[in-house]
Structure 1
Amino acid sequence: MCSELGEKPAHVALAWLLTNPFVTAPIIGPRTVNQLIDKLRAVELKLDEATLKELVRIFPGPGGAAPAVYAW
């Protein structure tokens, strides 16, 4: 899917997280300035509705009620 979008998987993943109102701050952990600059692409990337729906289909999450579903 990322290849079809012409984007790196990390950029798509971060852009997807940025669309989620429950995610307050994705942590990227760059070790160099160049890595940080590269990851800033995610801020510019706007995913359309079809892409967002496909991401949810591929990665549906645990489902169920919190917090029980998140307790491993």
Structure 2
Amino acid sequence: MSTVSAAHPIGTPGTPWGNAERAQWLSRQTRHRSYESDVLSVVERLRWRFNVQEYGRLEYGLDVYPLSVGKPGSL
């Protein structure tokens, strides 16, 4: 059995987070990757080989992320 050396700075151990704790956690987050360069640019490079279609969008805060599927061949 392991023990945690330092308490997490948000919330109370053993108590589920509520809206305030989730908001506090979210405010501390920083962006580590770029959807544009890590995902969309790769999808664009594969369009010659796959029939790429957008099937939805993920909205997260003010950001909108297109969701795509690639099917072999062309229509």
Normalized against structure 1, the TM-score is what? 0.28
In terms of fraction of residues, the more helix-rich structure is 1
Greater relative contact order structure (CA < 8 Å, 6+ sep): 1
In terms of fraction of residues, the more strand-rich structure is 2
Larger radius of gyration: 2
